[in-house]
Chains A and B, each alone.
Chain A
């Protein structure tokens, strides 16, 4: 029983990590309707930034987040403004997909050029210390990731419902032309939303950096799971992505222990495919987040 609880706790912690990567991805998809294939590389950029700030200035990685989050906001906003927006009028909207794939490759190669293929270890500053929570033990850093993911979900919900900018973002997602007729600058809304989505993964990257070494390809694994989570949660649903992430985290940890760590990913993707066939709109989808997907 104790082992089971420990595995469950590991799964939930892993889920928090998947969630904090997936939230920005689903936000960008739900509002801007762009699949950001460079999302994993945004994570990678954030982790290297955290690495540089912690080693160069001897900062705590969580303090470094205060610089990494705005930096990623700017990266996201620039991506929308100078890569996606010029392609909005392209004959074929699939061009946008290739654009973000191209950005992903470019960022990966840039990191390879600057940092080489070796891993970069961000100083730990104590966040790898174990914490006893009742019958289970987890890393302090994992708890903070989970807390941050929950705070992001709640914070975004509040922001979208209660602030003028949040309402303008929802309005633009639900009916772009009508939003323009209200006086909303739709292009600016997309730029800001892309920035916010990137800032979310920026927060994730600063929290993840002391737990996982950075490498040019670190984003690819996380983002693959993030895509699974986003689809499971119902495309565009932030809360759905969170619960999807926790579910996948638990499945990952359980199958790793009870079935074999080699088969973990096979089980995760197997379950993903089954759910996709049985409930294509996602486990947690409601009418509300489906309408974000329609034009």
Chain B
């Protein structure tokens, strides 16, 4: 479904990603594992169209999307839930969620999507008319996740969805990710909580210093000595 082929990318004159390739098939849950600064967020930004790769191609269902603007990529069905929430601070929770359903395909079923995400995050139902900025960090993260789901994308990308959440909420977030996958949405996820993520993922990639060094099934990565040492701390 999604193919990233040999992309190089960076900021200004610094090169971050070198020859990065990955593939996500329909219905899969795929994760990218890597240390801080390895380039995971950069990879997701390239796919989302926020950053233009210097070389290489990105394809969705065979269509070349490398040069498309971010909003066109959203229209094609790829949504990124960005690292660090990135809410609209002075808009209410409801308005933030509604912005998630901005893309044409999602707009028609706005209210249905809203009740679905509120079922998943009942806490947000009580906060609908509060400005997003007045929510706690964890609540804001829930809004960010719910807002991404409102787009009803074909591929949903999560960048550090559990960052800053209490352990009990973290397991709730992973339940949500499993539900998203079970509903047929394809998932690409970057998470510091590597163990938990590999448990829900089908396949995974290891990214080190901007290069892909390993690709395998999630079960195999969980058993891999290098992965266990470097990312699971076992």
Contact = CB atoms under 8 A, between A and B. Distances in A.
Contacts of B91: 167, 170-171, 174
Interface in A123-181: 164, 167-168, 170-171, 174-175, 177-181
B17 interface: no
**Which of A175, A179, A186, A288 has the most C-beta atoms of chain B within 10 angstroms of its own C-beta?**
A175
Interface residues of A, number: 20
Given A183-B74, A183-B75, A183-B151, A178 B102 contact: no
Contacts of A186: 71
B90 A181 contact: no
Contact of B82 (A168, A181, A183, A291): A181
Nearest to B101: A182
Contacts of B49: 180
Given A167-B95, A177-B82, A178-B82, A183 B102 contact: yes
A181 B89 contact: no
Nearest to B98: A167
Given A167-B99, A184-B102, A291 B90 contact: yes
B90 A180 contact: no
A185 interface: yes
A53 B87 CA distance: 47
A186 B86 CA distance: 16
B104 to A, nearest CB: 8
A184 B98 CA distance: 13
Task: Assign chain B's interface to a size class.
Answer: 20 to 34
Nearest to A161: B95
Interface string A178-200: 11111111100000000000000
A184 B89 contact: no
Interface string A18-34: 00000000000000000
Nearest to B150: A182
Interface in A239-295: 287-288, 291
Nearest to B132: A174
Contact of A177 (B74, B79, B86, B99): B86
Given A182-B99, A182-B103, A170 B71 contact: no
Interface string B190-206: 00000000000000000
Contacts of A177: 50, 82, 86
Nearest to A188: B71
Contacts of A168: 99, 102
Interface string A58-98: 00000000000000000000000000000000000000000
A167 B91 CA distance: 9
A170 B88 contact: yes
B188 interface: no
B180 to A, nearest CB: 17
Contact of A183 (B71, B87, B89, B90): B71
Contact of A178 (B87, B95, B103): B87
B86 A182 contact: no
B48 interface: yes
Contacts of B95: 167
Contact of A175 (B74, B80, B89): B89
Interface in B98-135: 98-100, 102-104, 107
Nearest to B74: A183
Contacts of A182: 71, 74, 99-100, 102-103, 147, 151
Nearest to A168: B102
B88 A174 contact: yes
Contacts of A183: 71, 74-75, 102-104, 151
B69 interface: yes
B70 interface: yes
Nearest to A286: B90
Contacts of A288: 90
Interface of B: 48-50, 69-71, 74-75, 79-80, 82, 86-91, 95, 98-100, 102-104, 107, 147, 151
11 contacts: A167-B91, A167-B98, A168-B102, A170-B88, A174-B88, A174-B90, A178-B82, A181-B79, A181-B86, A182-B99, A185-B71
Given A180-B50, A182-B147, 12 more contacts: A164-B107, A170-B90, A171-B88, A171-B99, A174-B89, A178-B82, A178-B88, A180-B71, A181-B74, A182-B102, A288-B90, A291-B90
